[in-house]
Amino acid sequence: MIEERTVQLQQCMYQYSRAIYRSIKDLVEPYADRRSQLDSRRAVLVACEQTMERLASDPLYFAKPERALFQDIRRHFPITAQAEVAWAVQKGVDAAVEFIEEQIESGVLDGGVARCRATTRKGKPCQRTPLPDRDYCPSHQHLETKAAA
Ligand SMILES: [Zn+2]
């Protein structure tokens, strides 16, 4: 079911964002007072989550997500930690992008929604939503029957 897949995808993206956060949270400005450290960590966590949410909902049009995330959070880290943070963000975002690309290739995701596999009479891909657990929409479901026979 599409809904289950979406929930699964969101859970996976949540794990990727936690992984990025965990890999950099201890690098947050070490000489700041405890209060600002907590604020910074919270801001970093939110930025990671927002980046992953945007990546999941708009995977094809989110250019350079690792750069966007690093720009968002770099001010929370000391100069000496910038390279390490950039590297951790790159690695974490790469893993998430790779996961999303696999989902798109396997047909689970197509900019967020599955599409019917048929081609219309005008030669354009059908834009309708497939039947549950099927590759084709109601008007094209006869194609699936033919392929299975
Ligand atoms: Zn169709």
φ/ψ bin of 17: left (φ > 0), alpha (ψ from -120 to 50), beta (otherwise): alpha
Neighbours of ion ligand 1 (CB under 5 A): 116, 118, 126, 128, 137, 140
Measure CA 121 to chain center.
34
123: CA distance to ligand 1 center in Å?
12
Query: Does the pLDDT value for residue 74 go beyond 60?
Result: yes
At a CB cut-off of 8 Å and minimum separation 6, what does 6 contact?
Answer: none
Q: pLDDT tens digits, residue range 84-97?
A: 999 999 999 999 99
Torsion angle of the four alpha carbons 103, 108, 111, 116, in this order, in degrees rounded to the nearest 10 = 140
Using CB atoms within 10 Å of the CB of residue 106, give its burial: 0 to 12 exposed, 13 to 18 middle, 19+ buried. exposed
> Looking at per-residue confidence, does 51 or 113 come out higher?
51
Question: How many A from CA of 101 to the centre of ligand 1?
Answer: 23
Note the pLDDT of residue 113. Answer: 60
The arithmetic mean of pLDDT across residues 99-122, rounded, is 74
Which pLDDT score, from 0 to 100, does residue 118 have? Answer: 86
Can you give the pLDDT at residue 123?
Answer: 81
Q: Is 54 helix (H, G, I), strand (E, B) or coil?
A: helix
- For residue 61, the CA-to-ligand 1 centroid distance in Å is 24
Per-residue model confidence (pLDDT) at position 62? 83
Q: Is the pLDDT of residue 137 over 70?
A: yes
CA atoms within 13 A on the CB side of 23: 18
